[in-house]
Amino acid sequence: MHRGFELSLFDAAAMLIVLAAALGYLNHRLFKLPQSVGLTLMGALASLALVGIDYAVPASGLAGRVTRFIAQIDFHEAVMQGMLSFLLFAGALHVDWGEMKRGGWPILVLSTIGVVISTVIIGGGFYLLSHALGLAVPIAWCLTFGALISPTDPVAVMGVLKRTTVSPTLQATVAGESLFNDGVGVVVFTILLAVALGHEPFSLSRAGGLFAIEAGGGVVLGLAIGWIAYRAMGAIDDYQLEVMISLAVVMGGYALAGWLHVSGPVAMAVAGLLIGNAGVAHAMSDVTRDYLLKFWAVIDEVLNALLFLLIGLEVITVPADPRLVPLALAAIPLILVARALAVLAPLGAMRPWLSLGRMAPVTLIWGGLRGGISVALALGLPEGPARGALLAATYAVVLFSVLVQGGTIAQVLAWRGRAGAQPSPGTSVS
C-alpha cells in the first residue's frame, strides 16, 4: 500500500483476490450458499459492518478508508472494459448451439422486443413512483434506468442455471437471451443516456439506425473473428497456441469493437458460440479441447468471484439518503412486473407455433437475474440530481435479484415441478 492510500492496479487486484478466496473458502466450509449469493452477501455485510463500526467508534475511520479503496477501483471500467469480454465469451463457449437453435425465436424476440418493452414499462413506472414519493425524477432519466436494469446478467443467469434441472433447450434459451439482451440493453442505454443528457433529441429512426449498426455490426464482427480463429485452430495442433488464439479473440476483438463503434458484448457472444460449437467439434484435438475448456472455466470462476464480491462491497458507495429507500424498495416489484410482462407477452404471441413448456415462464421471470452489468452502467452515470435515485434503485434490485432470486431459483423450480407442470404437447421442447 502506498502513501496517501494510493493503490496500484496490482495492489487492488491482490487485495480483491485474497478477499474473494478467503470469503469463498468461508462460504464453502460454513454457509454452503451458491458462490454468487455467498460472496455478494458477505461483501455487502462486510461493508455495512464497517459503516456500523464507524457510527459506534467515529475515530476509527474504517468506512472512510474502505470507501476510498473502493472508489479507487473503477467498477464501471473494470466490468465494461475488462471483465465483460472474458465473461461473455466464457459463458457462450459452453452454450449448446443445437439446443439454442430450437429456442432461436424466443431468444431473438426476448433479447430485442422484450428489452424495449421492459425499458418502457420500468421507465414509466419509475417516473410515477418517483413523483408519488416527492422525488420527481425526469422521464428521460427514468427511461435510462429502465434500459440499464432491463437486461438480465449472463454471468448471474448462467451461474444459476448450473443448479437447476430444466431441460437443455430451456437452459440454452435462457442463457442465449441473457447473452444477447446484454448487448442490446447497452445499446438502448447509450441512446437514452444521450437523450437524458441533452446531447441529442430522441428520434425513433435515428435510434433504430444506431441500434442496427451497433447490434448488427457486433454480430458481423463476432462471426468474422470467430471464423478466423476457427480456421487458425483447425490448421494447427498446439493447445498452448490455440488457447492464446482464444485470448486474442476476446481481447483484440473487444478492443476492435470499441474502435468500430459496434457492440462488443454481442461480438463476444457470437464468437464464443462459434468457437464453443464449431471450433470445439471440428478444429481441436481432444487434448486442446480439454485444455481450452478448462482454461476458460477457471477464468469464468475467478472473474465471477471477483464480480460478485465487488457488487457486495460497492454497497458502501450508495448515497446514504433515507429519502431514496422507499423508491429503491418500490423498484423491486416494478422490475418483477416489467420482466413478467416482457416475457409473457412475446411467449403468448408465439404460442400458436412454438412453446417452451410450462416451466419456461417461471424460469425466465424468476431466473432473469440482474447483476454486475446493471451496477456498472449505473456507476458510470454522470453526476447529477437523478444519479443518486438511479444508483440506489439499481443496487436494491441487483441485491434482491442475486440474493433472493438467485438463492431460491432451484427451490422455486422444484416447487413448480411438484405442482404438476407438464410440457405442452405438440411443439413443446421443454
Q: What is residue 5's predicted lDDT score, i.e. its pLDDT?
A: 52
pLDDT by residue (tens digit) across 8-27? Answer: 778 888 888 999 999 999 99
Q: Residues near 169 by Cβ (< 8 Å), separated by ≥ 6?
A: 99, 102, 103, 356, 429, 430
Q: Residues near 242 by Cβ (< 8 Å), separated by ≥ 6?
A: 233, 236, 284, 288, 291, 292
Residue range 252-271: average pLDDT?
A: 95
pLDDT band at 234 (very low <50, low <70, confident <90, very high): very high
The Cα–Cα gap between 7 and 69 comes to 8
pLDDT band at 364 (very low <50, low <70, confident <90, very high): very high
pLDDT by residue (tens digit) across 24-47? Answer: 999 999 988 888 889 999 999 888
Give the DSSP per-residue string, 241-305: HHHHHHHHHHHHHHHHHHHHTS-HHHHHHHHHHHIIIIIHHHS--HHHHHHHHHHHHHHHHHHHH
The Cα–Cα gap between 75 and 304 comes to 14
Q: What is residue 7's predicted lDDT score, i.e. its pLDDT?
A: 66
pLDDT by residue (tens digit) across 285-317? Answer: 999 999 999 999 999 999 989 999 999 988 887
pLDDT band at 427 (very low <50, low <70, confident <90, very high): very low
Of 46 and 268, which is predicted with more confidence?
268
Q: What is residue 6's predicted lDDT score, i.e. its pLDDT?
A: 63
Q: What is residue 426's predicted lDDT score, i.e. its pLDDT?
A: 45
The shares of helix, strand and coil residues in the chain, as percent rounded to the nearest 5, are: 80, 0, 20
pLDDT by residue (tens digit) across 84-107? Answer: 999 999 999 988 898 888 889 999
Q: Residues near 24 by Cβ (< 8 Å), separated by ≥ 6?
A: 35, 38, 39, 305
For residue 422, pLDDT over 60 is answered with: no
User: Measured in Å, how far apart are the chain's first and last C-alpha atoms?
Assistant: 53
pLDDT band at 3 (very low <50, low <70, confident <90, very high): very low
pLDDT by residue (tens digit) across 384-406? Answer: 989 999 999 999 999 999 999 98
Q: What is residue 60's predicted lDDT score, i.e. its pLDDT?
A: 63
Per DSSP, 421 falls in state: -
Lookup: cell for 109: 424476440
- Look at residue 167 and give its three-state secondary structure: coil
Cβ neighbours around 197 below 10 Å, total:
14
For residue 2, pLDDT over 50 is answered with: no
Map grid coordinates 498452448 to a residue. 240
